[in-house]
Amino acid sequence: MVINHEKKILLVEGNLRGWEFPGGYVQRGESIQAAAIREVKEESGIDIHITKFLGVEQNIEKSTVVIILKGKLVGGKLTISDENQDVGFFSFDHALNKINRKNFKARLLRCVDKKVIPFFIES
């Protein structure tokens, strides 16, 4: 979850899943933080600094683990990549309305709820 100086949230509109946080996979020999920084840059053109660990979401059936970090904007320019159709910073309410998938909406809500951070979700 990337926040800019106006406290707006970065979302990318993927070709398949709609609006969501930028993200992706950790490459062999790459740290989780480095992967997060790289994926945000690749998908949005934005340079970030990681500021906080927010939580972990595990999907047992699909055998996936998502690690959610918080980052702040430090540079770059919003850019569409070959992985998405659009990119932008949005107020919390606007971001919540743009996200269509229930699990992505739930993720956003968890990421701003200080009472549940850090979270560990198993499904």
Mark whether 42 is an active-site residue.
yes
Side chain identity at 48, as an amino acid letter?
A: I
Cα end-to-end distance, the chain, whole Å? 21
What values do phi and psi take at 110, rounded to 5? -65, -40
The closest alpha carbon to 86, from 17, 26, 38, 37, belongs to: 17
- The one catalytic residue in 6, 39, 42, 83 is 42
Cα(62)–Cα(119) distance, integer angstroms: 19
Contact call for residues 47 and 76 (beta carbons, < 8 A): yes
Catalytic residues: 42
